[in-house]
Structure 1
C-alpha cells in the first residue's frame, strides 16, 4: 500500500469534473419534474448548472440568469414545467420535450432540430431566431408567444394551436398548415412560399410584406385581410374566400383564382391575368381600367376605347 503520495488539488478537481460530466451525459433518464433533484449533482452539462434546470422560476433580469451555449441534445424533459427560464444558443437537438409546459420562458437562437415538442404547451414564451428542422410539434399549443425570426423546415405541425402569437419574420416555407386557424396573427414579412394553407383561416392576419408565392390557399378564409402589394405569384386561390380583402398592387401573375370569392375586394393595380377572373365572383369588387378591359375581353366583349381619356 502506497502512502504519503502528494496529489495536486487541481488534478483531483479536474478528474472529478470529468467523471461527473460523463455521468450527466450518460444519464438521460433524469428525475421527473423541474423540482425533482434526487440523484443530481450540482455539476451539469456544458456549463449549465442544476439551478438552471431545476427549482423555482428564475427571476431577475441579468444576463447571468440565462443558460448560454448548453448542450441538451438527446435529453428527456417530457412532461416538465418551466417558468421564467432563459436559454441562449442552446442545443435541444433530438431532445424529448413532449408535453413540456413553458410559461414566460425565452429561447434565443436555440436549435430544436429533430426534437419532439408534441403536445407541448407554451404560454407567453418567446422562441426567437430558433431553428426547427424535422421537428415534431403535433398537438402543440402556443398562446401569446413570439416566434420572431424562427425557421421551420420539414416539420410535423398538424394539428397545432396558435393564438395571439407573433410570427413576424418566421420562415414557414413549404410548411403543412392545412386547416390551421391563423386568424388575426401578426405574420409580417413571414416566409410562406409554397406553404400548404388549404382550408386555413388567415382572416384579419397581419401579412404585411409576407411572401406567398406558390402557396396553396384553396378554400382558405382571407376575408378582410390586407394583402396589398404582396408577392403571390403562382399561388393557388381556387375557392378561396377573399371578400372585402385588399389585393391592391399585389403580384398575382400565374395565380389560380377559379371560383374565388372576391366580392368587395380591392384589385386595383394588381398584377394578374384577367382571364383568371372569368369564374371568380366579383360583385362589388374595385378594379382599374386595365383589369376591367382585360376582364371584358376575356368574356368576348369588343371594347372600344376611342375617345377615352
Structure 2
C-alpha cells in the first residue's frame, strides 16, 4: 500500500513538472494592465504595441527600450519619464506631456504629437522623420543630432531649444517661435522657415539651406556647400 501511494505521488509530481515546463514554453501575451496610472513604474523593454494609454499618468516611469508602436496616448502624462531608445513609431501623442522626459535615440517616426509639451526634454539623436508636431512646445529642449526630416513644426515654441547638428531637410517651421534657439550646423534643405519669430536672436552658425528653402526676410543663410549666401537669396 505504501509503495502504491508513493508511486501515485511520484507520478503526480512528474505530471506537474511536465505541465509547468510546457506552460513556460508557450508565449505569454501582455495584457493592458498598465493603462490608467503607472507613475514611476518599470516598463523597460515591455511590449505595449497598440495599447491605449490615453489620459494615463506615467510620470517618471522607466520606458527604456519599450516597444510602443502605434500606442494611443493622447493627453497622457509622461513627464520626467525615461524613454531612452523606446520605439514609438506611429504613436498618437496629441497634447501628451513629456516635460523633462528623456527620449534620446528614441524612434519617433510618424508620431502625431500636435500640442504636446516637450519642455526641457532630452530628445538627442531621436528619429522624428515625418512627425506631426504642430503647436508643440519644445522650449529649452535638446534635439541635438535628431533626424527631423519632413517633420511638421509649424506654430511650435522652440525658444531656447538646441537643434545643433540636426537634419531638418524638408521640415516645416512656419510661424515657429525660435527666440534664443540654437541651430548650429543644421541643414535646412527644402525647408520652410517663413514667418519665424525671433530668428534674429537664434544662433544659425554653420546652418545652410537649398534654393528651394523659404526664409523670413530677417534671415540670410548660405546654400549648403557654399560659403556665402547670394544677396538675392536673403529672403523669399
1:58–1:264 Cα change, 3 Å: farther
Distance 1:145 1:164 in 2: 8
1:223–1:156 Cα change, 3 Å: closer
Distance 1:138 1:56 in 2: 37
Name the stretch that deviates more: 156-165 or 177-186. Answer: 156-165
**What TM-score comes out, normalization by structure 1 length?**
0.59
1:280–1:123 Cα change, 3 Å: closer
RCO higher in structure (CA 8 A, sep ≥6): 2
CA deviation vs aligned residue, 1:166-222 (integer Å, no higher than 9, x gap): 111111111111111101111111111111001111110011221111110111101
Counterpart of 2:165? Answer: 244
| SS of equivalent to 2:68 | coil
In the TM superposition, residue 147 of structure 1 has moved relative to its aligned partner by 0.8
CA deviation vs aligned residue, 1:132-182 (integer Å, no higher than 9, x gap): 233222332123220111111333333322233211111111111111110
Residues 57-206 of structure 1: matches in 2 within 5 Å? 59-61=24-26, 85-86=28-29, 106-107=30-31, 110=32, 115-206=36-127
Structure 1 unaligned blocks of 5 or more: 1-54, 66-84, 87-105, 298-302
Structure 2 unaligned blocks of 5 or more: 1-19, 221-229
Higher strand share: 1
Instruction: Give 1:259's match in structure 2, choosing from 180, 203, 216.
Output: 180
CA deviation vs aligned residue, 1:111-130 (integer Å, no higher than 9, x gap): 865x3322321243201111
1:129–1:239 Cα change, 3 Å: same
Question: For this pair of structures, how many residues does the alignment match?
Answer: 202
Question: Is residue 209 of structure 2 the alignment partner of residue 284 of structure 1?
Answer: no
CA deviation vs aligned residue, 1:93-122 (integer Å, no higher than 9, x gap): xxxxxxxxxxxxx34xx4865x33223212
The structure that has the greater radius of gyration is 1
CA deviation vs aligned residue, 1:56-75 (integer Å, no higher than 9, x gap): 995334xxx6xxxxxxxxxx
1:125–1:58 Cα change, 3 Å: farther
In the TM superposition, residue 279 of structure 1 has moved relative to its aligned partner by 1.8
Q: 8 Å contact 1:275–1:294 — kept in the other structure? A: no
